[in-house]
């Protein structure tokens, strides 16, 4: 089992899914999970992309049993980077040459381009003309010896290639459709993808090739190369494509595909693993929230679907919320801290939160944040200086400015009396402040929800916050009243009847 990423772009969510399925399958069979870096495309491969992929694999818990890991390699079948395996590819190409299964191709890029245009004009799919296939071996050898540049082509055997796919069942592809004889070495001796994949899969003893369905059309080429090398065929399993919600193919251009972007948003590795496992595989039960260990115990290729798997962001956020709730307080603190630090560095918070401050907030927010980053939106007012109120949200819909003014004036002494400085939240305990404010609302003929919403906006500047009365306790008496007074001052400056937009909550 192997994952063979090409470091030609940021770590893609689809590659992460393929890696996960390979790892789960390896675990279910007691097999080895190998990470091989396919960096033969030197123009597009970079060390930065490789580092991003390796960091992403490690973060998800998908680092190699064998192969490339951050900072090195482990295992006896290396090197595991294709850029370091050139000698091996040259040697295997020699074997194929000796068997007469290849021939040198002297077609220039210009010749090939002209062929391509001709076929395009005739509305034919691209295919090598076969021009050099029939050159007599002696003549070909003479031209090569004279220094004429030549690529090496592998002769594609005519006939039907059968793929006995573990997901898709029997798939038959006519080798006629494969585009003609295949270049395996360029004129400069550099190997091409289809060839390196097969050489490596043979050398690394790969028994199962599990990869995306986009590779299905490559597989017949690989099968012909395995056969040519006299190597046993691995079993193939092609995973369903990952689709956007409109069932179009998920692509770098249209969709958020970089794993790092999900991580930066505050998705947990646990949730992403859980979600990716369910992208094309199902437990066959109602269970949805599964840890890596549970996935390892339950995964079976037999339950991988053929149909495309829709990437449902709502489900991912739901799973993330579930996983956030499962983290212990200390663990959640560790995961939240970098989000506070980054928000402060980016100026979204005036200062970062201390561990003690985050710890106090955790019980109030853990059930309310779908993403780790949501914690910042929900709690930024604790770390702000003077609030800037939005007049439009300060006065509940059913109220006018005068009512709000009266309410703030009436609520102020109640709040001042009920909370002090440096108080801890009461959490789920009955809150005497709430009871007193409810009584005030009732006596004044206001809906408690309207009063609470007006106070929420006045004290926090926002309509969505952690529980209001605990938020006041954490802010403390001084800041709570200062915010309330600032809101009241804003109301005094407003003409009657303005700012009627807030829906009550609670």
Catalytic residues: 252
Q: Kindly state the tokens that stand for 382.
A: 């604790």
Spell out, one character per residue from 61 to 100, where the chain touches ligand GLU: x when CB under 6 A holds, - when not. Answer: ----------------------------------------
Site for ligand GLU in 466-495 (CB under 6 A): none
Short-list 62, 66, 11, CA closest to 295: 62
What span, in angstroms and rounded, lies between the C-alpha atoms of 353 and 374? 15
Pick the closer one to ligand GLU by CB: 150 or 223: 223
196 binds ligand GLU (CB under 6 A): no
> Smaller CB distance to ligand GLU: residue 44 or 351?
44
Q: Is 4 in the site for ligand GLU (CB under 6 A)?
A: yes
Q: Which two tokens stand for residue 419?
A: 């909370």
Largest separation between any pair of C-alpha atoms in the chain: 107
CA separation, residue 402 to residues 62, 151, 408, 411 (Å): 60, 85, 10, 14
- Candidate segments 3-11, 19-27, 73-81, 120-128, binder of ligand GLU by CB under 6 A: 3-11
Residue 5 Cβ vs ligand GLU, minimum distance, rounded to whole Å: 5
CB nearer to ligand GLU: give 50 or 270.
Answer: 50
CB closer to ligand GLU out of 39 and 450 = 39
Regarding 5 and contact with ligand GLU (CB under 6 A), the answer is yes
| Binding status of residue 6 toward ligand GLU by CB under 6 A | yes
Which of 211, 221, 389, 473 lies at the binding interface for ligand GLU (CB under 6 A)? 211
Question: Are 471 and 364 contacting, i.e. CB atoms less than 8 angstroms apart?
Answer: yes
End-to-end CA distance of the chain: 53
Cβ proximity to ligand GLU, 239 vs 453, nearer residue: 239
Q: Min. distance of Cβ 57 from ligand GLU in angstroms?
A: 13
On whether the CB atoms of residues 107 and 132 are closer than 8 A, the answer is: yes
Nearer to ligand GLU (CB atom), residue 236 or residue 381: 236
- Angle between helices 448-460 and 401-418 in degrees, nearest 10: 80
Alpha helices in 45-108 (DSSP H): 47-60, 86-98
Stretch binding ligand GLU (CB under 6 A), from 4-12, 128-136, 347-355, 395-403 = 4-12
The single residue among 26, 38, 452, 462 that binds ligand GLU, judged by CB under 6 A, is 38
Place of tokens 């709690």: 379
Query: CB of 193: closest distance to ligand GLU in angstroms?
Result: 7
Interacting residues with ligand GLU between 355 and 414 (CB under 6 A): none
Distance CA 384, CA 351 (A): 8
- Supply the minimum distance, in Å, between the C-beta of residue 25 and ligand GLU: 13
Say how far apart CA 15 and CA 215 lie, in whole Å: 12
Residues 6+ apart with CB under 8 A from 259: 10, 11, 12, 13, 16, 56, 60, 272
| Contact call for residue 37 and ligand GLU (CB under 6 A) | no
- Minimal distance, residue 162 CB to ligand GLU, in Å: 19
198 binds ligand GLU (CB under 6 A): no
Smaller CB distance to ligand GLU: residue 280 or 396? 280
Instruction: Report in angstroms how near the CB of residue 231 gets to ligand GLU at its nearest.
Output: 15
Determine the interface stretch with ligand GLU among 2-10, 90-98, 305-313, 433-441 (rule: CB under 6 A). Answer: 2-10
Nearest to 320 by CA among 375, 281, 372, 258: 372
Give residue for tokens 């561990």.
355
Q: How far apart are CA 97 and CA 494, in angstroms?
A: 88
What is the size of the binding site for ligand GLU (CB under 6 A)? 7
DSSP 457-485: HHHHS-SS-S-HHHHHHHH-HHHHHHHHH
Q: Does 220 bind ligand GLU (CB under 6 A)?
A: no
Q: Which of 197, 250, 319, 365 binds ligand GLU (CB under 6 A)?
A: 197
User: Do the Cβ atoms of 243 and 308 come closer than 8 Å?
Assistant: yes
CB half-sphere exposure, 107, CA atoms < 13 A? 22
> Which residue, 143 or 215, is less far from ligand GLU as judged by CB?
215
Q: What angle do CA 317, 319, 325 make, to 5 degrees?
A: 105
3-class secondary structure, 431: coil
Q: Which residues contact 344 (CB under 8 A, 6 or more apart)?
A: 350, 351, 352, 383
Query: In the window 287-316, what residues touch ligand GLU (CB under 6 A)?
Result: none
- CB 115, min distance to ligand GLU, A: 27
Judged by CB under 6 A, which stretch of 1-9, 116-124, 317-325, 459-467 contacts ligand GLU?
1-9
CB of 80 to ligand GLU, least distance (A): 13
How many angstroms separate the Cα of 51 from the Cα of each of 56, 82, 506?
A: 8, 16, 48
DSSP string, 126-168: -----TTTTS-HHHHHHHHHTT---EEEEPPPPSEEEEEETTT
Closer residue to ligand GLU in complex, CB, 97/215: 215
Question: Which residue's CB is nearer to ligand GLU, number 89 or number 469?
Answer: 89
Q: How far is the CB of 212 from ligand GLU (least distance, A)?
A: 7
- In the complex, what is the shortest distance from the CB of residue 211 to ligand GLU, in angstroms, rounded to a whole number? 4
Interacting residue ranges for ligand GLU, rule: CB under 6 A:
4-6, 38, 197, 211, 215
């Amino acid at each position: 089992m192997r994952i063979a990423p090409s470091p030609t772009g940021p770590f893609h969510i689809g590659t992460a899914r393929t890696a996960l399925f390979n790892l789960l399958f390896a675990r279910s069979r007691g097999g080895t999970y190998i990470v091989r870096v396919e960096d033969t495309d030197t123009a597009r491969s970079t060390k930065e992309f490789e580092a991003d992929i390796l960091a992403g694999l490690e973060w998800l818990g998908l680092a190699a049993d064998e192969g490339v890991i951050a900072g090195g390699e482990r295992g006896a079948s290396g090197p595991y980077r294709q850029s370091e395996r050139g000698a091996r590819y040259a040697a295997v190409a020699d074997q194929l040459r000796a068997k007469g299964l290849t021939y040198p191709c002297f077609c220039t890029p210009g010749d090939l381009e002209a062929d391509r245009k001709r076929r395009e004009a005739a509305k034919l799919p691209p295919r090598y003309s076969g021009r050099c296939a029939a050159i007599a071996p002696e003549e070909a050898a003479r031209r090569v010896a004279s220094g004429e540049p030549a690529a090496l082509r592998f002769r594609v055997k005519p006939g039907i290639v059968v793929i006995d796919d573990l997901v898709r069942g029997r798939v038959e592809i006519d080798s006629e459709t494969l585009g003609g004889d295949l270049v395996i070495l360029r004129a400069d001796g550099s190997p091409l993808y289809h060839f390196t994949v097969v050489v490596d899969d043979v050398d690394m003893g790969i028994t199962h090739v599990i990869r995306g369905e986009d590779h299905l059309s490559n597989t017949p080429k690989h099968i012909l190369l395995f056969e040519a090398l006299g190597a046993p065929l691995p079993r193939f399993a092609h995973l369903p494509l990952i689709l956007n919600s409109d069932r179009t193919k998920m692509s770098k251009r249209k969709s958020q595909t970089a794993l790092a972007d999900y991580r930066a948003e505050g998705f947990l590795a646990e949730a992403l693993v859980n979600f990716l496992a369910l992208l094309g595989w199902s437990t066959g039960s109602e269970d949805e929230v599964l840890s890596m260990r549970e996935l390892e115990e339950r995964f079976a290729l037999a339950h991988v679907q053929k149909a495309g798997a829709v990437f449902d962001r709502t489900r991912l956020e739901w799973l993330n919320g579930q996983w956030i709730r499962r983290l212990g307080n200390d663990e959640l603190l560790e995961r939240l801290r970098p989000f506070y630090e980054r928000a402060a560095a980016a100026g979204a918070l005036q200062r970062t939160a201390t561990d003690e401050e985050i710890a106090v907030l955790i019980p109030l927010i853990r059930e309310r944040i779908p993403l780790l980053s949501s914690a910042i939106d929900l709690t930024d007012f604790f770390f702000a200086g003077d609030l800037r109120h939005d007049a439009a949200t300060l006065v509940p819909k059913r109220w006018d400015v005068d009512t709000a003014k009266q309410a703030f004036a009436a609520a102020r002494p109640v709040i001042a009396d009920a909370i002090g400085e440096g108080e801890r939240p009461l959490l789920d305990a009955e809150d005497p402040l709430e009871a007193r404010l409810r009584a005030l609302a009732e006596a004044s003929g206001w809906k408690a929800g309207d009063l609470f919403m007006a106070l929420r906006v006045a004290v926090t500047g926002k309509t969505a916050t952690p529980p209001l009365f605990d938020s006041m306790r954490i802010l403390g008496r001084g800041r709570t009243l200062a915010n309330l007074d600032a809101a009241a001052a804003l109301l005094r400056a407003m003409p009657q009847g303005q700012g009627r937009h807030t829906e009550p909550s609670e």
